[in-house]
Amino acid sequence: MNGPWNPSAGGRLEQALVYGLGLSGRAAARLLLARGVAVQVVDDKAVDRGDLEESITLLPGGTLRQLPPGVDLVVVSPGVPLDRPLLEDARRCGVPVVAEVELAFPFLNGPVVAITGSNGKSTTTAMTGEMVKAGGLTAEVCGNIGEPLAEKIAGPPGRVFVVEMSSFQIEGIATFRPRAAAFLNLSEDHLDRYGALEAYGAAKKRLFRDMGPEDIAVLNADDPETLRTETQARRRLFSRLGRVEDGCFATEDGRVIEVDGGAETPLFHASDVPLAGVQNLENAMAAALLARAVGVEPAAIRAALRSFQGLPHRLQKVGESNGVTFYDDSKGTNPGATMKAIEGFADGTVHLILGGRNKDADLAALTPMVRRKARRAYLIGEAAAEFAAALGDAVPYELSETLDHAVHSAAEQARPGEAVVLSPACASFDQFRNFNHRGDVFQELAREIISGKTGGAPHG
């Protein structure tokens, strides 16, 4: 970022370039066009116009290295690294390079509640939205969860914008300032883009940089790196493991208590959270503090949690066969997510399916938790050999290669009371279109076994 985007400041924006034509980029292009800006769009790969308006100029696909003449602003999609030659040229020319969320922010007519972190963002965003709605407010749930913020501008004032924020989006903000924001956790992820955990964490912490004392920063007291976030906002902490002075904490008997100015208020009980996994208790605590920041009462928070259905592929219970339960956690795409996913299972009861495409994470970080929780591991995809080296003799494992073989082998060897868990700690792009595709395939295989349509022996 080399300068703020501010439509209320002097000067007229006449031409803009949108780089990246996913949902975010297309929404940005439509927003600019609706405000009288001439729009050019480009993607690193060849794309068709799709639903783009005819007045938008589609530049040839491929890597454009120089900024076209006359461009006043570049809007970059989250999947486009900021070191692309075109973006470096824009910065040299003094042209602001902003994210779609930054483009949309000045046009919003209500408070912003933002959620970031390595794991649990989408679930926490969805939970927060449900709590806000249960509190009688109108919530626009958007951002990295699937619907661009730029698509939510039109509407009545006073809506609460609940926005999931990836580090890629936060890299492109300048004036974006949430009323409340949560930093859920930090673990190794996207190191193929950032190179080091410190750089990845710095990208996320930027969200809190310009928040003021009247704003709320919700931070995970059990995650030391989130606590090192520098901000002028009021720091409200959540903890599953110990008491906090401002925020909320879980007691040994499962109560979650809010502490505010010395007063203690029951928020909800762990049994109100209908989702498996200790991480979902943490997600619920963060969501509750965000909802409290916009005035939602505890009764509404409890009601929202009890009816919350969860999101697909996040430690989702698929079903049970002969006492063996199948869980789809395909969204567990880094070691931190997988550790949280299996932490709540009884020791030695998990048949864990690991593997895919590693994003330069240290897979050995998983080994202590796998040694404790897993009875056996099933290794698939590009990272199978790397996992084998990381696990050593910590737990018996097999090189299953494919998800099909892994699921059938795990089902054959699991005993009543145990669980077959897909939580791969890797991206899916070596064998699947995305994590949704991988999870769908797992669920199909599991349901075949549950229904008795297939035996335990591998096939395919």
pLDDT tens, 147-189?
999 999 999 999 999 999 999 999 999 999 999 999 999 987 7
Overall residue count recorded for the chain in this entry: 460
Helix (H, G, I), strand (E, B) or coil at 413: helix
User: Is the pLDDT at 30 greater than 50, yes or no?
Assistant: yes
* pLDDT at residue 191, as a whole number: 67
Residues with catalytic roles: 121, 144, 190
Domain spans of the chain, in order of start: 15-95, 103-306, 316-451
Structure tokens at 197: 């955990």
What pLDDT, on a 0 to 100 scale, did the predictor assign at position 415? 98
Find, among 400, 342, 335, 330, the residue nearest to 363 by Cα.
Answer: 335
Residue range 316-451 forms a domain whose CATH class is alpha beta
Q: What are the φ and ψ backbone dihedral angles of 377, each rounded to 5 degrees? A: -120, 150
How does pLDDT run across 409-433, given as a tens digit for each residue?
999 999 999 999 999 999 999 999 9
Q: Are 354 and 426 in contact (CB under 8 A)?
A: yes
41, pLDDT greater than 60? yes
At 47 the pLDDT is 80
Phi, psi dihedral angles at 195 (to 5 degrees)? 85, -35
* pLDDT on residue 193: 73
Position 82, amino acid: L
Q: Say whether pLDDT at 112 is over 90.
A: yes
Average pLDDT for the chain: 93
Pick the CATH number of 103-306 from 3.40.1190.10, 1.10.1280.10, 3.40.1080.20, 3.40.640.10: 3.40.1190.10
Reference 105, options 18, 10, 173, 182; nearest CA is 173
Tokens of 145: 């969860």
pTM recorded for the entire structure: 0.89
Tokens at 178, concatenated: 């949430």
Element (H, E) at 438: helix 435-451
Q: What is the CATH number of domain 15-95?
A: 3.40.50.720
pLDDT tens sequence across 383-397? 999 999 999 999 999
The whole-angstrom separation of Cα 24 and Cα 145 is 11
Sequence-ordered strand ranges (E) for 196-284: 216-220, 234-239, 247-250, 255-260, 263-269
126 pLDDT more than 90: yes
